[in-house]
Each structure stands twice: as C-alpha cells, then as structure tokens.
Structure 1
Amino acid sequence: MGSLTDDPAFRAVTFVVIDFETTTPTGYPAQPIEVAARALRHEDGGWTQKGTSASLIRPPALAPVTPADTAQTGLTAEQLRQAPTPAEALGALNRRFTAGTPYLLVAQHAATEANVIYNQREHCPALARVNFLDTIPLAKHLVPGLANYKLDTLLSHFSIPQPTDRHRAHADVDVTAQLFQRLVTLAHESGGLNDLAALVKTAGRTAKSNLPVQGGLFDL
C-alpha cells in the first residue's frame, strides 16, 4: 500500500493556503479587509513554494473597521482607506489561478474562507470554483484527543511558534501552511491516509460555487 505523498494525484495538486481578515457589519455578511495566499506543491520529496500573494482590501461603507477589528488585527480605517477594492484585490488573486491546473485551497475552519469567497465570487470566479481542505477535520483524524482544534492549540501541539502579528492574514497563512505540512507528514508516516482521495474524503469541503443550486419548492 502506498503513502499519501507518493500518490501521483497528490503530487499533481497545487495547494493554496488562504486566509482572510474581515469586518462583519450587522445584517450583512463578513466583508474582507485583508487576504493572503501561499501556493505549495509537494515534489522531489519535499515542499516547494510556488508563489505568495497578500493585499489589504478596502471595505465598503456599510462595513467600517471597528475598534474591535483593530484590536484583533491591528488594521485601522486609515490604513484601509487607500487599499485596493475587493474587485481589484480579489481580481488580482483570481488571475494567479491557471486554467487546467488542479488546485485545492487549504484553510483552518474552511467554512469561514469559503463564505467570504462565495460572497465575492463575481470578483474571483476561478478562485470561487476551487474546493477546500480544512485543517480541523484533518487534525481531528490524525491527532485525536486534543482539548480543542483551534489554530492556537494546534500550533502549540506541533511546536509551531506563534507569530507576533497573529490575526494578520499573511501571518496566519504562514502558520497554517506549516500546520498543513506537519499534518501531511504525519499522514505519510502513519499511513492513515494513503492517497489524495482519502485526504479529500477526510478533510475536503466543496466550494459553494460548485454545489448544485436548489430551485424553489414551487418553481414553475
């Protein structure tokens, strides 16, 4: 029986670790104020970084940066006033995805990133079609019995140093990428996940743009 990193399908995938920071106005979905991404491939026996991207994002008037947002991320309204719009920032990221290349997005609690991307899908249609791997169910499968599976808990378990600017998108992408690589190594060494299909079955999440649209019950 083979192992995960020996699987040709696994080695063919470009894994894109992604993270958003957001502000959440009352009555509206979360609005992105920062995005970062790091593309990784496993080849020649190890990980290779294929590219990085990071951008501040100017939120709409309906979603101003609050003191609570600044306390968590360090980002201020002044910093974001001249930032790229969502169309500019996410459009630039979208253009990094090459047609015909197999991708999987990687995120801690992927539903959060999936919702942001889906709500911004008009600006990033290619990105919005990429499915996810969620590090939480992957960690639960490979490291059962932890008190919880929050990012800080997993960083501590794997002795990954806390970044000084935790809750900035670029810093969270960095540590999430390290966590994902540790989990893949553990899966490879334990033999618990033998191929990409098993990895996706355990930790995969379908992008909302790839889900079938259910019509109204009484549509005519």
Structure 2
Amino acid sequence: MGSLTDDPDFRAMTFVVIDFEATTPRGYPAQPIEVAARALRYDDGGWLHRGASASLIRPPAFAPVTPADTAQTGLTAGQLQEAPTPAEALGALDRRFTPGTPYLLVAQHAATEANVIHNQREHCPTLARVDLLDTIPLAKHLVPGLPNYKLDTLLAHFSIPQPADRHRAYADVDVTAQVFLGLVALADEGGQLGDLAALVKIAGRTAKCNLPVQGGLFDL
C-alpha cells in the first residue's frame, strides 16, 4: 500500500479546516456567532497554507449571546452588535471557494459544523455542497485506545499546546488543523490509509445538500 500523501487525488484536494462558535436558542437550531477556516494542500515539500479567514457573526434577535456562551467563548453581546450578518460573513467565506477546485471540509465532530452550514445554506450555497472529514473517527482508527476523542484529548496526545483563547473559532481551527496534520502523518507512517478514498471511507461525511432527497411515501 502506498502512502496517503503520494496519492494524486489526495494531492489535488484542498482541505479546509472549519469551526463555528454558536448560540443554541431554545426551539431553534444553533446560530453561528463566529466562523474561521484555514485552507491546506499537500505538495512535495509538505503542507502549503492556501489562506485563512475568520469573522464574527451577529446572531438574530431570537438567539442572543447568553452568559454561558460568554463564559465559554469570551464573546459578549456588545462585541457582536456591529458584527457582519450571517449573509455577509458566510457570503464572504463562500466566495473564497473557487469553482472547479476539489475541496473537503475538515472539522472536529463534523456533524456540528455540517448542521450549522446546512441551516445557513442560503448564505453559502457553495460551502453547503462541500463534503466533510471528521477528525474523531479518523483519530479512533489511527490512535485506538484513548480515553475519549475530544479535541483537548487529541491535543494532549499530539503534544499540541492549548491555545489561550480555546473555544474561539480561529484558535480551534488552528489546533484542529494541527491534529489533522498529525493524523495524516500517522496514516503515512503506518500505511493504514493508502489513498484519499480510504481516508473518506473512514472519516468522510456527506454534506446534507448532497444527500439524495427522499420522495414522499405516496408520491405518484
């Protein structure tokens, strides 16, 4: 089996590590208050950084920042009062995706990011159709036996320092990217994943916009 990073499909792929911070209003889906993304691509000399983006996002009136949100992220209602709207922030991020370029999103517990993106899909239609990789099943496959697969546990395993601003989107994207690179290096060393298809089989998550639409039970 060849190494993962020798696979032409892997080398052609741009991996976009993404993270949201969000409020969780009762009766509504999570509403983003911050987003960050970092694009990575592998070349002969190693990993290339292809750009980064971060933005605060003003939540709607029905999803105010709570004291619990502030305790976790440090973000306050005052900081977000003049932030870009979801349409502005996510629209700007969406325009950074080049048509015809293959992308995969990378996230820790990707279902969370996938749900936020899907619920905001009218503002980021291109982003909403990008499939995802989840670092949790990838870590379970490559690093069996850890007590759990939370981000902090993976940071400790890879000796990645905890950022001072943990739970801010840009900080979490940075350390998630480091975890992802560490996992890819393990896959190369152990020869467990020989190509992009094997990586996707273990850790891939289909974007909700790409799932087939099930017709009504009594459609004619």
Alignment of 1:1-220 (within 5 A): 1-220=1-220
Tell me how far apart the structure 1 counterparts of residues 80 and 53 of structure 2 sit (CA, whole Å): 17
Which amino acid in the other structure matches residue 181 of structure 1?
Answer: L
* Equivalent position amino acid for 1:166 in 2: R
Q: C-alpha separation between the residues in 1 aligned to 2:218 and 2:72?
A: 45
Structure 1: which 5+ runs fail to align? Answer: none
Give the Cα–Cα distance (whole angstroms) in 1 for the partners of residues 193 and 215 of structure 2. 37
Deviation at 1:44, TM superposition (A): 1.8
Query: What per-residue deviation string (whole Å, max 9, x for no partner) do you get for residues 80-124 of structure 1?
Result: 000000000000000000000000000000000000000000000
Distance of 1:155 and 1:208 partners within structure 2:
29
Instruction: Please give the alpha-carbon distance, in whole angstroms, between the structure 1 residues aligned to 2:84 and 2:215.
Output: 36
Secondary structure of 1:217's match?
Answer: coil
For the residue of structure 2 that corresponds to 1:200, the secondary structure is helix
How many correspondences in the alignment? 220
State the Cα distance separating 1:199 from its structure 2 match: 0.3
1:9 is paired with a residue of what secondary structure?
A: helix
Superposition deviation, residue 68 in structure 1 = 0.3
Q: Which residue identity lines up with residue 56 of structure 1 in the other structure? A: L
Amino acid paired to 1:61: A
**What is the percentage of aligned positions where both structures have the same residue?**
85
Gaps of 5+ in 2: none
In 2, the alpha carbon distance for the partners of 1:139 and 1:169 equals 21
The code of the aligned residue for 2:185 comes to T
Measure, in 1, the Cα distance between the counterparts of 2:142 and 2:101: 28
Deviation at 1:216, TM superposition (A): 2.1
- Mapped partners of 2:93, 2:189: distance in 1: 34
Structure 1 length normalisation: TM-score?
0.99
Could you list the per-position Cα deviations for residues 135-178 of structure 1 after superposition, in whole angstroms to 9, with x for gaps in the alignment?
00000000001110000000001100000000000000000000
* TM-score (normalizing by structure 2): 0.99
Quote the offset at 1:213 in angstroms. 1.1
Separation in 2, partners of 1:50, 1:44:
15
The one-letter code of the counterpart of 1:14 is T
Structure 2 letter corresponding to 1:128 = A
Alpha-carbon distance in structure 2 between the residues aligned to 1:3 and 1:163: 31
CA distance in structure 2 between the aligned counterparts of 1:153 and 1:117, rounded to whole angstroms: 26
- Determine the C-alpha separation between the residues in 2 that align with 1:26 and 1:123: 23
Which residue identity does 1:178 align to in structure 2? Answer: Q
Q: Which letter maps to 1:18?
A: I
